[in-house]
Amino acid sequence: MRCGNSLFKWGGVTYIMGIINLSPDSFSGDGCQSLNAARQRALQMVEDGADIIDVGGESTRPDAKPVSVDEELQRVIPFISSIAARIRAPVSIDTYKCEVASRALESGACMINDVSGYRMQPGIFKLAAQADVPIVLTSNQRGQKVGDMIEAVISQLKDLIESAINAGVRRENIIVDPGIGFGKTVEQNLEIVRRLDELKVLGQPVLLGTSRKSFIAAVAGPSPEERALGTAASIAIGISRGADIVRVHDVKQMKLICRMSDAIAGRAAAE
């Protein structure tokens, strides 16, 4: 998969997506309050080994207050414009709004990360197709009653993949995300990590986003150290189950987890 100036070859080492939150009400408490702080954080993430920088201007926690298009643009566009050309890692825009995604791509982003699931705006597919950029499709069960969660995740992702391809998105530009924390219970989130390899039936690279999420706190404990250690465990298991990208807040620490997990799993850098 080509993303900006980077080439991603699946099946080798695990890639790292570093999280930049420009929302003051981020669930993890890491929202950057200034453009300079966000830039410095992104530069440090790349130095620490991030392969992608994922920036979002609206919190995705269940009780978060919706953000207008204008406010989201004010949060993310100055950052993308100021950092995209300064770092070797491509920038991804974490949004479900077509206008925000479009402006972000114009400003230097080269990937779309949409967590909305079945609520996805059709225009997002057309935008990704026209710009010929990678897109992350996420399984989101918020507001739904689900029996077998793995079956529901795979079914939804199949539908989203089909919709994206029908809109003109190239299959090699599609990444799938099981949507940890989006309408799932603690037990269901744990099951998804445990059975992550079953998503390989979709034939697409898999992104795993467990970092600091509430199911981690429920099991490992709520303190920052406990969440970090719990995240590390989930990433190690996820890599053993075939995760291709991990989305994390703590790049430096999780880079070591990925390196060791890849070595144990016998995964090597693709030639």
Residues catalogued as catalytic:
213, 247
Cα separation, 243 vs 203, in Å, equals 12
C-alpha distances out from residue 225 to 3, 16, 49, 118, 212, Å: 33, 20, 21, 35, 10
- Strand 15-21 and strand 6-7: the pairing is unpaired
Cα separations (Å) of 196 from 111, 149, 153, 236, 239?
Answer: 23, 12, 11, 12, 9
Q: Are 135 and 168 in contact (CB under 8 A)?
A: no
Phi-psi region of 80 (alpha: psi -120 to 50; beta: other; left: phi over 0): alpha
Contact between residue 243 and residue 11 where contact means Cβ atoms under 8 Å apart: no
